[in-house]
Amino acid sequence: MRASRPWLTLGVMSAGLFLAVMSTTVVSVALPTMGRDLHASPADLEWIVDAYVIVYASLLVAGGAAGDRYGRKGLFLIGTAIFGLGSLAAGLAPTVGVLLAARVLQGAGPALLVPGSLTILRATFTDERRRAAAIGAWSTASGLALALGPPAGGLLVDGLGWRWVFLINVPLAAVLVAAAWFVPRLPAGASAARFDWAGAALITFALAALAFATIEGQARGWGAPVVAASFAAGAAGVAAFAAVERRSARPLIDLGLFRQPAFTAAGVAAAGVFFAFVGLIVYLSAYFQQVQGHSAVRAGLDVAAVGMSYALAATWSGRLTGRIGERWPLVAGLVIAGVATLGLLRLTPGTPLSAIWWNLALLGGGIGLCGTPISAIAMSAVDVPRAGMASAVVNSLRQVGQVFGVAVLGALVYARLPGGAGGARLDPAAALAFTAGLHAALWVCGLVLLAVAVLTAALAAGLSATVGRLPDPTLRRSPCGTHSEPTRLRASRPR
């Protein structure tokens, strides 16, 4: 890859991640308005978020593997175009059903563009410390999306209507496609390999079935035959996927990655962080609108402290990781976020923002500390041909965490509001019930974050002291995982 365009490449890849993350956070503030306009139930509102995220998560690993085989830049361009088309369809959707179908299409885009973006950055920035800074900037794009998503969504909803939280993506995606043409191209890594269609189909089916059961369980009853059958089908799908991958010569996911404690730590942390983080953003936004009666703009500003502190901490995390290594910033971030989440248990229907804004800021700051260490650990654990796979697995685990965060926390928050109030302001009794459900969700999130901190500290005990000792991508790995003789990266030649 030509060294003359590293910062253009960083900007384009970060913008792609920004759009992918923004499409979740910007929607969170618009959900109550969508619920009123489309007569949506609480389960419908969860599906508006999760229809996008399920497809994103379940195809992300396949997208990473496809990028390794067919070329990352091409997949990035295709993914951005699909994202733009899905956004256009969502913005024009007349019913909940059409909107959900459009969100499925929209979610396929990031599954193609996100894993390749981190792989392209890895090949572009060969100096270890510059790579850490680049990954930090890439992670910051996610933080900016989290920071700007809720207030931007509120402005769009109150000013132009909820449809514009989708339509705004169309011109942005077009600009990104145009800019991406100037990014140097990486050659495909394994063009002769047969794509693992069986693995891709099984993991997609398993995640969708488990998410369907989790979301629909609160509406249909946890003992309903369709819910029980979906849980069983999802579990069977996971088992079948593992069996197929162990026997495949070219697996979609090399399960041997999880025999490395550090990689497992990154995966567990990625899932746990986004389980708590995105789920809380969705239901805190609903709390400020449905319980406290705030407008969409004000609700977006109410939760903006989370994203703003995330963005600031993510930037600092890149530098901190470069100096002291990955382990302690990751563990410290998880502990800070967990304690801040439990601090929100003092919420009542009338609690003013002035009493809790610093809890929200600490929550976002703690999560922001985790981003760069998670990515650095995951990418350091693999050789270049499997870089797309490693990136995709960790990013997929982030999205899996998000899917089940929205689903599980929604089941807790709306448990005492059977069948009602998808988007309307709640009466005092219902507001108390919502707040009690939110307390249950906060307990779960806080304990998950603290438990992941303990587990990560144990699994990541053998990490290198500094990013400077991460594996050099110009060294080829031997089958046992150690470095063998240097070899020039084919990815360094533009195609």
Q: Token digits for 238? A: 């996971």
Does the pLDDT of residue 336 top 90, yes or no? yes
Does the pLDDT of residue 86 top 90, yes or no? yes
- Residue 108 confidence (pLDDT): 87
Does the pLDDT of residue 192 top 50, yes or no? no
pTM of the model: 0.72
Tokens 């459900």 locate to 437
CA 371 – CA 399 distance, rounded (Å): 14
Does the pLDDT of residue 473 top 70, yes or no? no
Place 444 in a pLDDT band, splitting at 50, 70 and 90: very high
3-class secondary structure, 485 = strand
Does the pLDDT of residue 10 top 60, yes or no? yes
Q: How many helices (H) and strands (E) does the chain have?
A: 16, 2
Mean pLDDT of 461-478: 41
Q: pLDDT tens digit string along 246-266?
A: 887 777 777 877 877 778 888
CA 91 – CA 104 distance, rounded (Å): 13
Tell me the longest C-alpha to C-alpha distance in the chain.
Answer: 69
3-class secondary structure, 482 = coil
- Residue 490 confidence (pLDDT): 33
Does the pLDDT of residue 487 top 50, yes or no? no
- Adjacent-strand bridge partners of 483: 477
> Which of 40-54, 273-287, 327-341 comes out lowest in average pLDDT?
40-54
Mean pLDDT of 270-274: 88
Mean pLDDT of 157-173: 89
Place 317 in a pLDDT band, splitting at 50, 70 and 90: confident
Distance spanning both ends of the chain, measured CA to CA: 8
- Residue 90 confidence (pLDDT): 92
Q: pLDDT tens digit string along 339-360?
A: 999 999 988 888 888 888 888 8
Does the pLDDT of residue 419 top 70, yes or no? no
> Which of 174-178, 216-220, 271-275 comes out lowest in average pLDDT?
216-220
Mean pLDDT of 144-157: 79
H-state helical runs in 71-95: 72-91
How many other β-carbons are positioned within 10 Å of the β-carbon of residue 329? 26
3-class secondary structure, 475 = strand
Place 102 in a pLDDT band, splitting at 50, 70 and 90: very high
Question: What Cα–Cα distance (Å) separates residue 277 from each residue in 26, 270, 408?
Answer: 14, 11, 13
- Residue 489 confidence (pLDDT): 30
Tokens 């295709």 locate to 78
The chain-wide mean pLDDT, for the chain, equals 77
Does the pLDDT of residue 43 top 50, yes or no? yes
Does the pLDDT of residue 442 top 60, yes or no? yes
- Residue 424 confidence (pLDDT): 60
Torsion angle, alpha carbons of 428, 152, 338, 426, to 10: 10
Which of these, 182, 147, 451, lies nearest to 303 by C-alpha position?
147
Question: Which H helix or E strand runs over 444?
Answer: helix 428-459
CA 58 – CA 397 distance, rounded (Å): 9
Residue 65's identity, in one-letter code, is A
Instruction: Compare 492 and 296 and report the one with higher pLDDT.
Output: 296
Question: Which H helix or E strand runs over 378?
Answer: helix 357-380
